[in-house]
Structure 1
Amino acid sequence: MQGLIKTITELPEMLVLEILSKLLVKSLTRFRCVCKLWSSSFETPNFITKHHQNNLKNNNLNLILKRSHGGTLDDIHYFSQLSTEKDQNFRVKHNIHLPFFENFVHATFIHGPCNGILCLAYLDGIGQNVALWNPSTREFKILPQSTIQRPHGPLEFSSFNSLGFGHDSQTDDFKVVRFVTNYYEENLDEGLLADWNSQVELYSLKNDSWKEISFPGVDGFASALFNNYVNGFIYCQAIAIDHLILSFDMVNENFSTSPLPEFGGSLEQYYLELLNFNGLLGAIFYPREGTDKSFDLWVMNGSWTKQFSVDSILGVERPLGFWKNGELFLESSDQELVLFDPSIQELTNLGIRAYQETMHITAYIESLVPLNGRSEHDECIIRRPVGGESN
């Protein structure tokens, strides 16, 4: 190793950095101690961008699975890092426990990834706790609570309903947008008066603060099952308005609406998930009832077109995410993680179990993006290697 490093350091600086930008984050972390130049170079925007572009080009995906082994939906959720080596068959490498979210009653939602960063959020009717996490550099940042003024009146409570996470390429900033509904109750002589109104809040990582932005007049529901950040926009399903998508522009910080594809069904009968499919907005539809599922994927590229249709997969409940060559991760009726290959119509059981509807799989590209947060160690985040124990 010493001979290799000596050879590299004798090469021109630009060539050295080009070589280093192709390495894994784990290797770069070790190489920080080689010299101050290397350590400082790894933190420059140009190197961070180059490193991420190389990973995108080579499709170097990593997998994290969120799940619960408990007996109820709201038992403690944890994360499992899955192996992506061909001969490992997605086995669990280690389990990750995040103490910041383990004292809450309900499950943590995952949004992203965006440039290798995950946004984790716990929502309830009282408040919301949000954190950003770079699982590659093992940096964790807890977002500050909002100080935005609520409208005057007899406020009963505020509900944090939906959240989106994305990147502003113009300012190189990461932003979180969320809908807030404020509920009011007032005892009057003629009875109880109940009312509500909505606000939209936007967090900027660069400013490390929240601000209020204009409410679009239409509420949106951004499912956390899939990554719905696509090329500078966050997409969600409009609430109470059928066949309409609400989108948020991360650069201009404004909302717009567009129609869903005419998929030939009703949203009362079919689930809808909006997702990033190879850099394009996708919409996947599947039946709400039954375990003999069909899946239709539509993609927006100027207009909606059907990408593919899977007529029938027996014994599965819901889709969880796509893999490198179009394979689809699914949750089986037995609450196990399975992989469906549409090219050969083959279903593979991966031997990983969880309590029903607690599985969420995230495929992300390694990134050196800093969060100005703290290390996993400082946040008491525990990674436990998995040897011969069960998945």
Structure 2
Amino acid sequence: MAAFLPFELITEILTKLPVKSLHRFKCVSKSWNSIITSSKFIKQHLHQTLISNTNTNTHIIISTNSIVSSAISTVKFRFHIVNHPLDHLPNRSPGNITGSVHGVFLLVDSSTKTLCLFNPSNKTQRLVPHSPSRKPASPSPKLAFVFKLVEVFGFGYDDNTDDYKVVRLAQWELFGYFDREASVYSMRNDSWESVNDETVSYTLQETSAIAVDSTLWFVMISNNSDSVLKCFDLRTNTFWLVDFPELDRDSGKNIFMTLRSLRDCVCLLVSYRNKNRVFLHADVWEMNESKWVKLFKIRKNEIRERCMFLRLVTYSKDMKSVLIEVDCDWHGWYDLVTKKFRRVSVQGLEAVDAPYVAYPYVETLVSVENNKVVSKMEGTWPKKTIKKNDFLSSGFKLKL
């Protein structure tokens, strides 16, 4: 057996290892640490991770008063507490997760108006500066009833510039005066810029945007209660509108819609409820080649428990089941073949208060620290430099 493996082979092996193992292996030697922390390796490891988890995710995260995470299992979720990056803020509200890309989350604290990018896999974080705004000054308490501000954030990845971006959409109304604005934060430039929005005016729905293929999708509502999707291309900074599929608008039914990104596609789950908001059934749609395609229907008798609405989370590894969140309170696997629903056992959710929303993700090395913006794939490998005082390189043997 050769005394040393070729440098390129070591690197190839490392790209296939999970994040937790790579964090440990940084201590093997300075050369290994240089490889694992290099921009090129981080990009290659991300690419390998996304390929091996093409249709599904491996973890879910929940954020309310605390942040907890669990590996996805078909039987039981075992959640563990993740250090909250905004714990140092006084009087902070429960942090809401607004979007996830490549294992990085955008946390929004409504009380302090703080935005934070956070990767729970490597514990890196970045506070996003406040967006400059031209909205009118906050009215006095006596005028609060005539002032309405809606603010929605989205988080996505621009594959043209290899940049992670935050988009802020805001609308306000005061004494009949109505206006709106849009701005984009670039992590690479660490700055905001205003963008034009020439689409027809609709009211923002205060829900998180989803990101699919460098495009953010926002839910909008018109004056006659019809809904549309407002899309924003992170590559060109342009907006356009997309209609929802043909829905059952029976006057006796109440509709609750949620968006998710599954299989790199926009997926819509429409929960139909009676006048008392008790769940009747749900339709799941997917945007395929600019057209809505109905994937499947979930019926009330298949859930077997009284509820109000459902939310998609992710697919199972074999694509035969889908993880469903029920009333932002519990989860179950819906078998697409047998049409049966099985509730998932959980452990470690004591620190989290319902209602909550679970977000799926894959563990990555992507860093969001100010001096750690991941660069493009172009470049050279770090030179293999082993000094005499690198005792780990010369005196430590790793058993795999």
Q: Deviations over 1:88-146 (max 9, x none)?
A: x112234544444874564422122201111111236xx62110011111111111122
Decide whether aligned partners of structure 1 residues 17 and 53 sit closer, same or farther in structure 2, where only a CA change above 3 A counts. same
Q: Does 1:80 align with 2:71?
A: no
Selected match of 2:315 from 313, 323, 326? 323
TM-score relative to the length of structure 1:
0.77
> Which structure dedicates a bigger proportion of its chain to strand?
1
Match for 1:204: what amino acid? S
Q: Tell whether the 8 Å contact from 2:85 to 2:118 is kept in structure 1 after alignment.
A: no
- Number of the residue aligned with 1:314: 304
Q: Does 1:63 align with 2:59?
A: yes
Q: Deviations over 1:263-318 (max 9, x none)?
A: 33369721111221211111110024444442211111121110111122232333
* 2:9 alignment partner, SS class: helix
* 2:267 alignment partner, SS class: strand
- Number of the residue aligned with 1:179: 169
1:159: how far off? Answer: 3.6
Decide whether aligned partners of structure 1 residues 304 and 172 sit closer, same or farther in structure 2, where only a CA change above 3 A counts. same
Q: Which has the higher contact order (CA 8 A, sep 6+)?
A: 2
Match for 1:295: what amino acid? A
Gapped regions of structure 1 (runs ≥ 5): 69-76, 185-192, 376-391
Matches within 5 A, 1:1-391: 10-59=4-53, 61-66=57-62, 77-84=65-72, 89-94=76-81, 96-100=83-87, 103-104=90-91, 106-123=93-110, 128-146=113-131, 148=132, 150=134, 156=139, 159=149, 161-182=151-172, 184=174, 193=175, 195-217=177-199, 218-219=201-202, 220-221=204-205, 223-224=207-208, 228-240=210-222, 242-265=226-249, 269-289=254-274, 290-302=277-289, 303-312=291-300, 313-315=303-305, 316-320=307-311, 321-324=313-316, 325=319, 326-331=321-326, 335-344=329-338, 345-351=340-346, 358-373=355-370
1:36: how far off? Answer: 3.0
Q: 1:23, 1:253 → 2: CA distance?
A: 36
* 1:327 alignment partner, SS class: strand
Q: Deviations over 1:60-82 (max 9, x none)?
A: 833234255xxxxxxxx112121
Q: 1:374, 1:252 → 2: CA distance?
A: 26
Q: 2:89, 2:133 → 1: CA distance?
A: 29
* 2:37 alignment partner, SS class: coil
Q: 1:159, 1:104 → 2: CA distance?
A: 21
1:170: how far off? Answer: 0.7
Q: Deviations over 1:146-181 (max 9, x none)?
A: 2x2526x66638945111110000111000111123
- How many positions carry a matched residue from both structures? 345
Aligned residues: CA RMSD: 3.1
Identity of aligned residues (%): 23
Gapped regions of structure 2 (runs ≥ 5): 140-146, 373-400
